[in-house]
Structure 1
Amino acid sequence: MSKIKLSLKGLDCAHCAGKIENIVSEFKEVKSCTLNFAFKLLIVEYSDLNEEEMINKIKETVNKLEPNVVVEKYSMSGGKNNPRTESGHGNSNKIKLSLKGLDCAHCAGKIENIVSEFDEVKSCTLNFSFKLLIVEYSGLNEEKMINKIKESVNKLEPNVVVEKYSMTSGNDMQRSDSGHGCKDGCCTGHEHGHSHKEDEKKENKFMNRILENIQLIVGIFIYIVGIFLGEKSNISIYFFIISYLLVGYKVIGIAVKNIFKGNFFDENFLMTIATLGAFAVGQYPEGVAVMVFYEIGEMFQSYAVNKSRKSISSLMDIKAEYANLFENGNITKVSPEEVKIDQIILVKPGERVPLDGEIIEGNTSVDTSALTGESIPMEKKVGEELLAGSINITGTIKIRVKSEFEESTVARILELVQNASSKKAKTEKFITKFSRYYTPVVVFSAIALAVIPSLILPDANIRQWISRALIFLVVSCPCALVISVPLGLFAGIGSASKKGILVKGGNYLEILKDLDAVVFDKTGTLTEGVFRVTKIESFDEFKKEQVLQYAAACEKFSNHPIGKSIVDEYKLSKQKDIDEIEVTNHKEISGMGISGDIEGNNVLVGNFKLMKENNIKVNEIESLGTIVYVAVNNIFKGYITISDKIKKDSKEAIEALKEIGVKKVVMLTGDNKKVGEAVGKELGLDEVHSELLPVNKVEKLENIIESKEVNRVAFIGDGINDAPVLARADLGVAMGGIGSDAAIEAADVVLMKDNPLALKEAILLARKTNKILWQNIIFSLGVKFLVLLMAVFGLANMWEAVFADVGVTLIAVLNSMRALK
């Protein structure tokens, strides 16, 4: 079985993407096929053809459906999940831009689509919640790329400011100073500082809002005067016109600009046509009222959306704004990005740890809740590691930096969350596709409603049918869905991150809610992974000390918990310094153990399979622990028993998963059968598969996936050997935020707190989020279709139409925010 990833450059039609996915899936050589429309990425698993033949067959199919789509082989760029086509020249560059003032979700989608079409752009994702545009490109320098994007954004949204993005407290607020904090000392005591320039901007923004609202208030007052004068008064018409212009000048202005750009289906154009139409048929009060309530609704909607985005962004407020660099006895406040590896930083009580490192002076307790969701403070002392994003609670400490900011834990978390919106859920894709057709269909229905009844029905009142058609135009904007669904998904992802559960995309939230089988790795996942030597046995003339010494010497280069436990036990025995024992021809044998030469003797240290492979005479030893066999010159000399401990929450986690509807819970382990079965029995697992090599784990997982008993399967592991299995599962879950980078990269969900019980929390949160999304979809479409139906029979007026537009949007946005709780 082979796997290939192809970039489909120029693929813009979601419907055609679905066709491509379906047709390729039907190839007899294809086992599985997935098309990520957001990334234009086709992932195919196949057999019986070589790679070139498979690519050509796919190209032929794609070109029949979409002649302008370019199919190219895809390769990962920088270890991230952003696709990049292999054009054979240069490397892709990546840039993040902050789009200040972007408040329209519909316009955000347009910007994303337009930038994606640039010839130089490999991938483009616009995170509406963070107002963050992430672009991967080649063929242009950074300045030219930014200018090209600015030009396109300004055509669509002239008031949006495009600036290069930098992380500040985990949200989209850009700092206007040099990044070194306030010079007047107003930031001391805590990292949540601010610049005076930002204060000035906030004051200006506040004044602008007041001026805008004054204009709206004046317009409403003049409208009330017009109503008081009465509709039949000729003077009242002038009051209505003045009121209309004061209230709706922005909407009309944007509509006129968009007409010249060929954009006839945005809500500004539709509202302008609807209200001018009301004026044309003599409904002056109704026309002004629609614009007034539309503006009021937009104001509240904008406030709700911005409030929601700030709530989501605040969940990611985990980056320290500055670091106290300690050099030559002096402390300098600098940006975390400026600190290099092995430099010393000082962290005072109440400050957030800016970078990953090791404590070299001082003891303290730290709050890691922002990273793991664990509210209980952890005690930390000299020699222990501290992760960026933690908050120092008690003592002042000095830390030696172990990684630069871009590679720190906090940067990785922010990167995962920011990129989460690029992996769109099926629900979100459905809404994107639906909104493309909904507005044009309703607009043309409005035209038909205005014209056809007037031609067909006897004594038809054309003004009456035009009035009904205008209601259709007001209801035709799909904002409630376009805004609330992505916002709800991101709220769910943000809420999960606050609880120490990192979900890499909305699509993984959807898979989480449907899980009916969970497959666990054993060591470090269900067990603590903290091994200790419990027994040493020796045979012939060999002593126990020699068995331990030879085993420790071979394992001293190993990162495996079992190897480390043997080395730790040897150090406690106070024998010869382990570094003085020379080991030559050292070799790791995957899934079996280690071989090496010590003092002229060939030594084998590993499991029973290693002994059997080398024809060493030994009976398999029965024990509840892990047995490490030691052979010297092909003669069995002794063994070491190593025991692991089941995590205190593992049993509860298994029971909890079954309670919420997971049908099957399985464990895969490389440990011996007896140990595996003992752990399985104690935890109440449905199946246990032992003595598995990494490749065997993949095979076992595939058997479970292909069985008809279950639909969605998750695999949970923590080690580098688990990466292939994590990638193969429907949902890969990595345990522990400081686990293997390979495991975290391959996983779709990361549980920052090393607790399997967090999976239940993740599943329940995913189900809650999905429920909220469908509440919004059903409510929004239900109200809109009801008002449209009422309009046909003359039972709806403009007030109800405005509610079906901005009122429904406001309610849907507020409902989406329940996912944060």
Structure 2
Amino acid sequence: MVTEKKQYILEGLCCGNCAAKIERDVNKLQGVSSATVDFVSKTLTMEIAEPAAANSLIAQTDAIIKRHDSQVFMREKELMQPGQKTLYLLGLCCGDCAQKIEAQVNRIEGVKAATLDFVSQKLTIEAVDREKLPSIIRQASQIALDIEPDIKISYTDQKPEDDGAARLKKYAYRFCLCVGAALFAAGIAFHFPQPIDFIVFLISYLLVGGEVVFRALKNISKGQVFDENFLMSVATIGAFAIGEYPEGVAVMLFYQVGEAFQRLAVNRSRQSISELMDIRPDFANLKVGNEVRKVTPEEVGIGDLILVKPGEKVPLDGVIEEGFSALDTSALTGESLPRDVEPGSEVLSGSINKNGVLIVKVTKEFSESTISRILDLVQNASSKKAPTENFITKFARYYTPIITFAAVALAVIPPLIIPEADFNDWIYRALAFLVVSCPCALVISIPLSFFGGIGGASKNGILVKGSNYLEALNTIDTIVFDKTGTLTKGIFKVTKVESVNGWSKEELLAYAAHAESFSNHPIALSIQKEYHQKIDPQRLTEQKEIPGQGIFVKIDGKPVLAGNGKLMETEHITWKPVDALGSIIYLAIDGIYAGYIVISDELKPDSKKAIQELKELGVNHTAMLTGDSRMVGEAIALEIGLDAVYTELLPHQKVEQLEQIEKNKKSKGKLVFVGDGINDAPVLARADIGIAMGALGSDAAIEAADVVLMTDEPSKIVSAIKIARKTRAIVWQNILFAMGVKVVILILAACGIATMWEAVFGDVGVTVLAILNAMRAMKTIQ
């Protein structure tokens, strides 16, 4: 089935409860396969199963949003296809100029199509060849600036401008609140006689809470009854009905003030999270011949040279061509120590150049660079919600109606069955009951906690692809590791060359280096490095890889076999197995066994410590899967303290062995696999949680994984679990605190002890405190 993905920014969304209701109702639309609302980033993500009906579904979605909150503005977020880019020409106000820009951009060589929407100031360019897109963007930007010099070019989604009407509405709201508060204070201070007293408080109430009552009536007309506007309106109008004018106004006033503080706290939290990820480079110094031009990172293509000055961020991934320096990678990896770099060193976008001037050859375009990948993973992480978030959303759906009916029962039943009971007294208790019942403290603070945890993890070089994975890290039972590049450095070195049957060591190494010249595997590269001479391709006439065993080549017309013991057995070579610590490559030349080469790998310095700390955290079982020999695998497992090791496995056998480990688990905890190579992608996808070593790992492994470690350190798994546990603790602190306070006030209100003043604190005050507590999740590990 072909599905269409769309994303929208919900500008003005500040109610977590409304966000949950919007998500629920959009999911009910026929033709929408899935919909999630990320309250933190105010993003609605939709998967439309019927693309032909997309316009109708979007219109229905907009109607749903307006039904829940008429103040929310739905703005489409660009989802660019490969080879496509959007430029925002901010300040473009000339229609004729817009036509000229569009026409000239369409004439650029390599442009498949270019359209300029004058109303939205959006220029969309589609290139024939994706690799030529950066060059096309540079030319298009120059054309636009030549025609309209006063415009500003932006490469990110533009936000709707704060127009005069919106500003006027904001000022009017503040003015009404201030005047209403002044009248309320006057009514309390001067004790006016009736009916002046009533009129003063009524005007105060209308100024302070008129908008809330209007929204409640509007929502009721649309079938949306049980929300905070309805609860506050019923409670305060009820207070007026029983003659408690000051309390009716006071509850609405403090509710509005509390809502303002709540919006401030939410925005501060969002801003803190945004600042946490403020690692996007703003520009790149592009070298064009002898000239250096300041351009946006999107305008730089693969193979271009960029200049990075001291103090600047590295804008794109690449390899250093000239210069020596130290790079601060703390924003990417969480490591405080700078990394020394020189010509030939790989550099990652987002790093900060500390001292020397560097010339870098770009290896990835901006959309595929490390920095873009990090930002994309973090910004979209909240769309995969944790079970706790889903539970709270479902809980809130039933909680508010139940509390409302309980309040009705509290107001009606006791006066009917208790002799001499006062109706006004029980109605007042029921009204206080209503005020405290809003579930916003949970609906807002829980997603903020998870997003803060994900942001804090990213600051420590740990990318978690969703709240669900962050929560799952709390219940790990078994962790299975790959060996090469995961527990070991993956930097191989030839430690022994042994020749037999008349061959010299130099000849054996020469045959091995030529045989392995087709491969980029670390073992093959180590043999080529040890050879210290250039490979002569004219000596090679045939080549055939034998999966899981080795390689067959013809060198100088002689058939050469290079591989493991299975290869020797399969080809019926008379050979003798060798016991040595390392990977062993056996060679046969012209059908006769010629000797072996031992290649050794080195353990990562923190592998042993990581295994020890994982066991201290309660991980029940640790194991290793490797294609290496039994001797090597068991020696490493014994040294670092693994519980089990499975050796000499082919890629498909790793998946089978993982499934067997899953069956043998003694608890219902999660199974984690940690790997880095392209062969690990199937195993990463099969595990409950896949963790990829990201900085040196393959793109396939990173794509298949649920968690990515930017520094390739096994000890980061320990950090990830600690972050997950801290986040879970904050989530449950908020749940227990919010529910505890609400239950206490509900009981006290029912008993006639708590007034509406306490009820307002139980609603808005608790929400603000829960949000502030949620912000601590971002500072999990310093």
AA at the equivalent of 2:766: V
Preserved contact between residue 705 and residue 712 of structure 1 (Cα < 8 Å) = no
Preserved contact between residue 226 and residue 237 of structure 1 (Cα < 8 Å) = no
1:376 is displaced (CA, Å) by: 1.4
Of 2, 18, 21, the residue aligned with 1:110 is 21
- Distance 1:352-1:594 versus aligned 2 partners, 3 A rule: same
Match of 1:71?
Answer: none
1:592 is displaced (CA, Å) by: 1.9
Separation of aligned partners in 1, 2:5 and 2:352 = 31
Between stretches 620-629 and 123-132, larger displacement belongs to 123-132
AA at the equivalent of 2:566: K
- Say yes or no: does 1:222 pair with 2:194: no
Question: Could you tell me the TM-score, scaled by structure 1's length?
Answer: 0.82
Aligned length: 714
Match of 2:756?
Answer: 798
Match of 1:633?
Answer: 590
Between stretches 212-221 and 152-161, larger displacement belongs to 152-161
Q: Give the fraction of aligned pairs with identical amino acids, expressed as a percent.
A: 53
1:418 is displaced (CA, Å) by: 2.2
1:601 is displaced (CA, Å) by: 2.3
Residue pairs, 1:620-659, within 5 angstroms: 620-659=577-616
1:133 is displaced (CA, Å) by: 2.6
Separation of aligned partners in 2, 1:281 and 1:662 = 61
- Say yes or no: does 1:324 pair with 2:292: no
AA at the equivalent of 1:227: I
1:287 is displaced (CA, Å) by: 0.5
Between stretches 225-234 and 747-756, larger displacement belongs to 225-234
- Say yes or no: does 1:240 pair with 2:198: no
- Say yes or no: does 1:537 pair with 2:448: no
Preserved contact between residue 696 and residue 712 of structure 2 (Cα < 8 Å) = no
- Distance 1:105-1:200 versus aligned 2 partners, 3 A rule: closer
Separation of aligned partners in 2, 1:816 and 1:389 = 27
Of 405, 413, 427, the residue aligned with 2:366 is 405
Preserved contact between residue 525 and residue 716 of structure 1 (Cα < 8 Å) = yes
- Say yes or no: does 1:746 pair with 2:657: no
1:670 is displaced (CA, Å) by: 1.4
- Structure 1 runs not aligned, ≥5 long: 1-85, 168-173, 185-192
Deviation readout 1:608-647 (Å, 9 max, x if unpaired): 1221222221121010121111112332112111011111
Match of 1:692?
Answer: 649
Preserved contact between residue 125 and residue 421 of structure 1 (Cα < 8 Å) = no
Preserved contact between residue 372 and residue 499 of structure 1 (Cα < 8 Å) = yes
1:384 is displaced (CA, Å) by: 2.4
1:146 is displaced (CA, Å) by: 6.2
1:317 is displaced (CA, Å) by: 1.6
Preserved contact between residue 689 and residue 705 of structure 2 (Cα < 8 Å) = yes
- Distance 1:477-1:669 versus aligned 2 partners, 3 A rule: same
- Say yes or no: does 1:357 pair with 2:269: no
- Say yes or no: does 1:160 pair with 2:72: yes
- Say yes or no: does 1:498 pair with 2:459: yes
What secondary structure does 1:648 align onto?
coil
AA at the equivalent of 2:386: A
Separation of aligned partners in 1, 2:55 and 2:553 = 56
Of 668, 677, 695, the residue aligned with 2:634 is 677
1:491 is displaced (CA, Å) by: 0.8
- Distance 1:356-1:120 versus aligned 2 partners, 3 A rule: farther
- Distance 1:808-1:608 versus aligned 2 partners, 3 A rule: same
Separation of aligned partners in 2, 1:206 and 1:606 = 74
Match of 1:593?
Answer: 550
Preserved contact between residue 229 and residue 236 of structure 1 (Cα < 8 Å) = no
Preserved contact between residue 129 and residue 313 of structure 1 (Cα < 8 Å) = no
Match of 1:414?
Answer: 375
1:351 is displaced (CA, Å) by: 2.3
Of 647, 656, 663, the residue aligned with 1:706 is 663
What secondary structure does 1:358 align onto?
strand
AA at the equivalent of 2:639: E
Separation of aligned partners in 2, 1:152 and 1:431 = 21
Preserved contact between residue 265 and residue 768 of structure 2 (Cα < 8 Å) = yes
AA at the equivalent of 2:41: F
Deviation readout 1:342-386 (Å, 9 max, x if unpaired): 233333322222222222333332221121111211122223222
- Say yes or no: does 1:139 pair with 2:100: no
- Say yes or no: does 1:262 pair with 2:223: yes
Deviation readout 1:145-203 (Å, 9 max, x if unpaired): 76665454344333333334369xxxxxx99578999999xxxxxxxx999x9999599
Of 432, 452, 459, the residue aligned with 2:393 is 432
Separation of aligned partners in 2, 1:494 and 1:583 = 54
1:213 is displaced (CA, Å) by: 3.5
Separation of aligned partners in 2, 1:494 and 1:203 = 35
CA RMSD of aligned residues (A): 2.9
Match of 1:807?
Answer: 765
Preserved contact between residue 517 and residue 535 of structure 2 (Cα < 8 Å) = no
AA at the equivalent of 1:684: G
What secondary structure does 1:622 align onto?
coil
Match of 1:188?
Answer: none
Match of 1:64?
Answer: none
1:541 is displaced (CA, Å) by: 2.9
Separation of aligned partners in 2, 1:592 and 1:706 = 29
- Structure 2 runs not aligned, ≥5 long: 80-87, 92-120, 123-137, 146-153
1:333 is displaced (CA, Å) by: 3.5
Match of 1:61?
Answer: none
What secondary structure does 2:743 align onto?
helix
- Say yes or no: does 1:764 pair with 2:722: yes
Deviation readout 1:72-119 (Å, 9 max, x if unpaired): xxxxxxxxxxxxxx2xxxx44433332222211122223333443444
Preserved contact between residue 123 and residue 136 of structure 1 (Cα < 8 Å) = yes
Separation of aligned partners in 2, 1:808 and 1:248 = 21
Match of 2:244?
Answer: 283
Between stretches 286-295 and 532-541, larger displacement belongs to 532-541
Deviation readout 1:238-297 (Å, 9 max, x if unpaired): 111111111112212221221221100111111111111111111111100100111111
- Say yes or no: does 1:99 pair with 2:10: yes
Match of 1:371?
Answer: 332
- Distance 1:796-1:678 versus aligned 2 partners, 3 A rule: same
Deviation readout 1:496-534 (Å, 9 max, x if unpaired): 111011111122122211223222111111110000111
Separation of aligned partners in 1, 2:336 and 2:160 = 33
1:798 is displaced (CA, Å) by: 0.4
Preserved contact between residue 99 and residue 161 of structure 1 (Cα < 8 Å) = yes
Deviation readout 1:624-683 (Å, 9 max, x if unpaired): 121111112332112111011111111111122122222222222211111112212221
Match of 2:471?
Answer: 510
1:461 is displaced (CA, Å) by: 1.7
What secondary structure does 2:527 align onto?
helix
Deviation readout 1:764-813 (Å, 9 max, x if unpaired): 11111111111111111111111111222211210111111111111111
Separation of aligned partners in 2, 1:101 and 1:115 = 18
Match of 1:556?
Answer: 517
Separation of aligned partners in 2, 1:352 and 1:200 = 30
Separation of aligned partners in 2, 1:603 and 1:771 = 61
What secondary structure does 2:740 align onto?
helix
AA at the equivalent of 1:105: G
Of 436, 439, 443, the residue aligned with 1:475 is 436
- Distance 1:258-1:331 versus aligned 2 partners, 3 A rule: farther
Between stretches 598-607 and 431-440, larger displacement belongs to 598-607
Preserved contact between residue 532 and residue 644 of structure 1 (Cα < 8 Å) = yes
- Say yes or no: does 1:294 pair with 2:251: no
Between stretches 730-739 and 130-139, larger displacement belongs to 130-139
Separation of aligned partners in 2, 1:362 and 1:166 = 38
Preserved contact between residue 378 and residue 463 of structure 2 (Cα < 8 Å) = yes
Separation of aligned partners in 1, 2:168 and 2:554 = 79
Separation of aligned partners in 2, 1:144 and 1:671 = 57
Preserved contact between residue 513 and residue 535 of structure 2 (Cα < 8 Å) = no
Deviation readout 1:379-424 (Å, 9 max, x if unpaired): 2222322222222222333333222222221222222222222222
Separation of aligned partners in 2, 1:816 and 1:273 = 31
